[in-house]
């Protein structure tokens, strides 16, 4: 287990895992880096440990360095760390991107560092909420054996459910998270737009959407099979209802396209006769 930790990137992910490392505790946070001195200080105050830095070369050596910057900055950040000679030899360098493999930080191997990536599959909208709700978060880990073995113990210790992932499949893995989390919000927004158009009061509409989504997720949890949790006009093959839905939507808006694409995907989950499926697909593809 590492005894000292540096965090490069003072955003929501860096603040959350830093706080969890200190809370458990599983190590000592030495340095927290951000290009903004204010952000670095804010992150240290939130984590409750460490020293803020806004120059990478000033970072102390640590047993493990987490790069929690935006994806586009990860590779360049690692190269700067190597050039700054602030990486401890035989230490670990880890990034937390869901879409990039550990190869993005291969430059650290020049310092005899072991590399890996760990990605907690959850929404980090608010660090306080993320810390409070973190237990049970699923974390994908990939990289060199030495690094992944240590990361598994480290992240298990803060309440994660860890599992290995194929380094070559990080992109499609991350897309799954976008579908399950980000696009769920998009669907909720479009449902609220429809309810607003129908004249439903906004407070009622919001509670209605949350209730319906929660019920559907519970059905999915119980059945464990998307096909069995699906309900509605697509499941029944109710052509007239689907046609009325499409007629009610703006013909030049994205909502109609979104409805049709989602409906075509839902159609694949049904056990309707082929003739009925063809009829529904023809309607949705107009």
What are the C-alpha distances in Å from 204 to residues 13, 113, 183?
33, 55, 22
The answer to whether domain 4-165 and domain 172-284 are alike in fold is no
How do the domains of the chain map onto residue ranges? 4-165, 172-284
Residues found in the chain: 286
Query: Given pLDDT bands bounded at 50, 70 and 90, which one contains residue 118?
Result: very high
- Tell me the average pLDDT across 246-269: 92
Cβ atoms 93, 105 nearer than 8 A: yes
pTM for this model (two decimals): 0.86
Q: Does domain 4-165 have CATH number 3.90.120.10?
A: no
Tens-place pLDDT, residues 175-200? 999 999 999 999 999 999 999 999 99
Is residue 2 predicted with pLDDT exceeding 90? Answer: no
- Tell me the average pLDDT across 167-179: 95
Is residue 133 predicted with pLDDT exceeding 70? Answer: yes
pLDDT of residue 1: 62
Q: Are strands 114-120 and 138-143 parallel, antiparallel or unpaired?
A: antiparallel
Q: Please choose, from the candidates 112, 166, 116, the residue with its C-alpha nearest in 3D space to the C-alpha of residue 145.
A: 116
Strand partners, 33: 8, 53
Tens-place pLDDT, residues 207-230? 999 999 999 999 999 999 999 999
> Average pLDDT of the chain?
95
Q: Please choose, from the candidates 210, 175, 204, 174, the residue with its C-alpha nearest in 3D space to the C-alpha of residue 189.
A: 210
Tens-place pLDDT, residues 250-259? 877 899 999 9
Q: Does domain 172-284 have CATH number 1.20.120?
A: no
What are the C-alpha distances in Å from 109 to residues 75, 80, 89, 142, 214?
13, 13, 9, 16, 46
Q: What are phi and psi of 238, to 5 degrees?
A: -80, 85
Tens-place pLDDT, residues 50-73? 999 999 999 999 999 999 999 999
pLDDT of residue 54: 95
- Tell me the average pLDDT across 67-93: 95
């Amino acid at each position: 287990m590492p005894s000292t930790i540096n965090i490069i990137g003072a955003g929501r992910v860096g603040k959350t895992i830093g706080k969890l490392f200190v809370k458990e505790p599983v190590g000592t946070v030495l340095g927290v880096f951000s290009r903004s001195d204010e952000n670095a200080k804010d992150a240290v105050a939130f984590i409750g440990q460490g020293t803020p830095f806004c120059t990478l070369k000033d970072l102390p050596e640590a047993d493990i360095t987490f790069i929690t910057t935006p994806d586009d900055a990860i590779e360049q950040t690692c190269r700067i760390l190597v050039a700054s000679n602030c990486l401890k030899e035989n230490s670990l360098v880890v990034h937390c991107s869901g879409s990039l493999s550990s190869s993005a930080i291969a430059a650290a191997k020049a310092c005899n560092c072991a590399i890996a990536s760990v990605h907690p599959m959850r929404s980090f909208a608010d660090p306080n909420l993320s810390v409070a709700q973190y237990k049970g978060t699923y974390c994908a880990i990939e990289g060199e054996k030495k690094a992944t073995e240590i990361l598994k113990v480290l992240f298990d210790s803060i309440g994660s459910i860890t599992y290995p992932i194929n380094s070559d499949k990080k992109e499609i893995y991350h897309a799954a998270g976008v579908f399950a989390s980000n696009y769920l919000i998009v669907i909720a927004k479009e449902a609220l737009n429809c309810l607003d158009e129908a004249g439903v009061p906004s407070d009622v509409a919001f509670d209605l959407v949350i209730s319906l989504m929660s019920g559907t997720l519970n059905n999915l949890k119980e059945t464990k099979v998307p096909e069995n949790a699906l309900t509605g006009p697509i499941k029944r093959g109710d052509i007239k209802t689907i046609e009325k839905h499409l007629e009610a939507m703006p013909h030049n808006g994205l909502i109609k396209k979104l409805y049709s694409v989602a409906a075509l995907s839902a159609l694949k989950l049904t056990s309707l006769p082929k003739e009925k499926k063809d009829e529904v697909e023809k309607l949705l593809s107009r």
